[in-house]
């Protein structure tokens, strides 16, 4: 009998489960304040839904042994977009939905197949094609981030990109070179960029683009020198200007990065990633963007083919906070014990605490002294001890 979980899986201890739940609850409070309603998409979907029109590679999907081509969801967006265009098709737009639950990904390494389960919490805004949806999404992301308990040492940075920016920049290249150039830019691969068969001036311009990221106003100015005053730059500038005060208020740095693209190729508009400084390296704790094309695949009505959303990685946030400071014990239970092991007395005190919504656990055996009770409480990870002399 195997005594270890499958490769990539792990057991979560009670403290991890409790902290995960508290993080999810905090985020849910924010979503509800903004008018979002909870949905619960299935963990199992048809593979053609999970692949999202080729946006998610088949090798990353966890396939199930079944008569139908089924798999476990690697993210929530495709499932919610499908539901919005089918079971929720008659509901008025825009739809504001949120969900929380596990997602599953597959990877192949030297040790063979590895399946990773992660807990995510996120929102989807469907049926609103205007840039107002992008602005709402970013404001909501910032408001939710403010509830996580991040510290100044985490230096939260919201990376912003746009699929259309790369398209516009790559239009200046021969069509046969665009795919390889896009891959080199989005992978931040300076070596591959240097090997492209392009005129030196063009290659140098792309190398400059590879390093172009930072303050939105400065980056937009540089992009305008290359592209001219195109509507996309004006629209993006207006969105970022509308979000900047909220970012400053929540102490999140905005960074515009024209070459940034998320891991999954779901998006065709604005793209986002929230990055924090971890103990050893930066950690991504949320990502998302606009995916109008994906909604168009599921729904026949082109006027409703609009979607944007983001998801937080709860596990990453929990680990980030735990690394910054020891976990506070104000949610841990008290240990209730008595000198004589009088079970009735201990249970009566326990009931009083529970009536006042105070967590407490029972120690049924005799406990000779208060010091011994405190030692037992520390061993069990309790908040403290309540020792009854009787």
Query: Residues 111-165: pLDDT tens digits?
Result: 677 889 999 999 999 999 999 999 999 999 999 999 999 998 999 999 999 999 8
pLDDT at 182 over 90: no
pLDDT at 10 over 80: no
What pLDDT sits at residue 362? 94
In the chain, what are the domain boundaries? 14-324, 334-388
Reported as type and span, the H/E element at residue 148 is none
Tokens of 45: 């979907």
Alpha-carbon distance 351 to 354, whole Å? Answer: 5
Tokens of 121: 């919490």
What pLDDT sits at residue 2? 60
236 Cβ neighbours under 8 A, 6+ residues apart: 162, 165, 220, 256, 270
What pLDDT sits at residue 330? 60
Tokens of 308: 């944007």
* Lateral strand order in the sheet of 384-388: 360-366, 334-338, 384-388
| pLDDT more than 90, % of the chain | 63
Mean pLDDT of 219-241: 93
Alpha-carbon distance 70 to 50, whole Å? Answer: 9
CATH architecture under which domain 14-324 falls: 2-Layer Sandwich (3.30)
Mean pLDDT of 366-384: 90
Classified as helix, coil or strand, 49 is helix
């Amino acid at each position: 009998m195997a005594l270890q979980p499958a490769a990539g899986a792990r057991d979560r201890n009670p403290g991890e489960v409790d902290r995960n739940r508290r993080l999810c609850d905090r985020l849910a409070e924010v979503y509800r304040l903004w008018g979002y309603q909870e949905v619960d998409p299935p963990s199992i979907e048809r593979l053609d839904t999970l692949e999202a029109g080729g946006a998610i590679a088949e090798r990353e999907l966890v396939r199930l042994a079944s008569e139908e081509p089924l798999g476990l969801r690697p993210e929530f967006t495709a499932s919610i977009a499908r539901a919005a265009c089918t079971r929720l098709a008659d509901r008025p737009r825009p739809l504001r939905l949120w969900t929380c639950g596990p997602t599953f990904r597959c990877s192949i390494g030297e040790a063979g197949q590895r399946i990773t389960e992660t807990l995510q919490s996120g929102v989807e805004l469907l049926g609103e094609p205007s840039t107002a949806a992008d602005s709402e999404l970013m404001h909501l992301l910032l408001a939710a981030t403010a509830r996580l308990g991040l510290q100044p040492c985490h230096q939260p940075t919201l990376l912003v990109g746009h699929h259309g920016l790369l398209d516009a920049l790559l239009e200046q290249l021969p069509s046969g070179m665009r795919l390889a150039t896009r891959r080199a830019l989005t992978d931040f691969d300076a070596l591959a960029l240097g090997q492209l068969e392009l005129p030196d001036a063009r290659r140098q311009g792309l190398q400059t683009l590879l390093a172009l990221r930072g303050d939105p106003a400065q980056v937009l100015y540089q992009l305008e020198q290359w592209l001219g005053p195109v509507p996309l730059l004006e629209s993006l500038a207006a969105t970022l200007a509308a979000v900047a005060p909220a970012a400053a208020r929540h102490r999140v740095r905005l960074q515009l990065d024209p070459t940034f693209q998320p891991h999954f190729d779901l998006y065709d508009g604005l793209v986002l990633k929230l990055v924090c400084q971890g103990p050893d390296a930066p950690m991504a704790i949320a990502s998302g963007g606009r995916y109008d094309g994906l909604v168009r695949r599921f729904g026949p009505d082109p006027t409703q083919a609009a979607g944007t959303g983001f998801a937080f990685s709860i596990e990453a946030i929990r680990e980030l906070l735990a690394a910054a400071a020891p976990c506070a014990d104000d949610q841990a239970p008290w240990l209730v014990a008595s000198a004589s092991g009088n079970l009735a007395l201990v249970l009566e005190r326990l009931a009083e605490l529970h009536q006042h919504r105070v967590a407490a656990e029972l120690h049924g055996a005799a406990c000779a002294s208060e010091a011994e009770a405190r030692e037992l409480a520390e061993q069990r990870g309790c908040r403290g001890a309540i020792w009854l002399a009787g």
